[in-house]
């Protein structure tokens, strides 16, 4: 068993389909099936239950997935450490545009920038050190020193050509996103709230007038305008890693 086998296994687990895994990885289904059988033979246990609807992981299959995910992440971390001499910056997706385009606080060509959701940032900090971190939530790890706490102005945005007032309020699926949590606090009719997986899709829906969303004011442009005069300050934090 090698790292490629672990990647194949991870893909089978996440797609729940040998055929979909093969298409995603560019292999034939027979090749994927053969590699899975080899892994099951080496581990002396079935990892999936096959059916006409796809595959379902066994209890040992779930353990194997956690092992594969951790091993692949550790391998990627090692590769990153060995191949990159640039300082690593971990930053929230919504803060990236603000820090780079609005504040111009660092040059992209001088850093390795990793853009993640608020929830993912907290998880990554326990696995790998980052030279600088911009996040919406405080970091409690002792190796990170708070350099600055500031605020990002936010308001409800709508599409400039939005015709109907009865459109849903879009929120990010990241449960730790401060824009999501403030939206839920402010919105009385929870049935009008729609959860969306990506920021890009939220922006697209708002631009088309199919939703409104609480977003940073810096995103306002010819297509996105304030839905009303209210605004809120969303705190964010800048940390440096201390050896």
Q: Taking the complete model, does pTM exceed 0.85, yes or no?
A: no
Q: 156 and 146 in one domain?
A: no
Contact 108, 100 (CB under 8 A): yes
Separation CA 206–CA 204 (nearest Å)? 5
Report the C-alpha gap between 28 and 10 in whole angstroms: 17
Q: What is the pLDDT of residue 55?
A: 92
Paired residues of 55 in beta bridges: 50
Phi, psi of 151 (to 5 degrees): -135, 145
Return the DSSP state at 87.
P
Same structural domain, 52 and 92:
no
Instruction: Work out the pLDDT band at 168, boundaries 50, 70, 90.
Output: very high
Question: For residue 226, is it within any domain?
Answer: yes
Task: Say yes or no: 106 and 121 in one domain.
Answer: yes
Q: Which domain holds residue 118?
A: 88-150
CATH number at residue 13: 1.10.10.10
Where residue 97 falls among pLDDT bands split at 50, 70, 90? Answer: confident
Residues 17 and 61 grouped into a single domain: yes
Q: Which residue has the higher pLDDT, 77 or 213?
A: 213
**In the beta sheet, which residues pair with residue 178?**
none
- 94 and 79 assigned to the same domain: no
Question: How many angstroms separate the Cα of 174 from the Cα of each of 57, 90, 167, 177, 235?
Answer: 26, 17, 21, 5, 17
Which of 106, 129, 150 is the last residue in one of the domains?
A: 150
Would 243 be classed as within a structural domain?
no
pLDDT at 241: 93
Distance CA 51, CA 42 (A): 22
Mean pLDDT, all residues of the chain: 90
∠ CA 82-140-170, rounded to 5°: 90
Confidence band (pLDDT; 50, 70, 90) for 83?
low
């Amino acid at each position: 068993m090698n790292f490629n086998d672990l990647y194949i296994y991870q893909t089978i687990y996440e797609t729940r389909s040998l055929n979909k895994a093969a298409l995603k990885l560019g292999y034939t289904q027979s090749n994927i099936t053969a590699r899975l059988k080899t892994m099951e033979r080496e581990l002396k246990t079935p990892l999936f239950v096959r059916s006409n609807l796809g595959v379902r992981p066994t209890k040992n299959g779930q353990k194997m997935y956690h092992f594969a995910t951790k091993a692949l992440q550790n391998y990627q971390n090692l590769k990153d450490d060995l191949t990159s001499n640039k300082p690593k910056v971990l930053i929230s997706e919504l803060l990236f545009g603000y820090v780079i385009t609005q504040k111009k606080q660092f040059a992209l060509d001088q850093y390795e920038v990793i853009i993640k959701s608020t929830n993912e940032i907290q998880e990554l900090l326990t696995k790998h050190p980052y030279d600088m971190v911009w996040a919406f939530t405080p970091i409690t790890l002792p190796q990170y020193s708070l350099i600055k706490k500031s605020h990002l102005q936010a308001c409800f945005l709508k599409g400039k050509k939005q015709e109907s007032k009865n459109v849903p309020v879009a929120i990010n699926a990241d449960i730790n996103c401060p824009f999501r949590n403030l939206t839920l606090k402010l919105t009385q009719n929870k049935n009008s709230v729609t959860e969306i997986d990506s920021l890009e899709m939220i922006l697209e829906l708002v631009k088309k007038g199919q939703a409104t969303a609480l977003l940073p004011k810096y995103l306002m442009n010819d297509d996105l305008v304030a839905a009303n005069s209210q605004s809120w300050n969303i705190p964010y934090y800048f940390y440096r890693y201390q050896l």
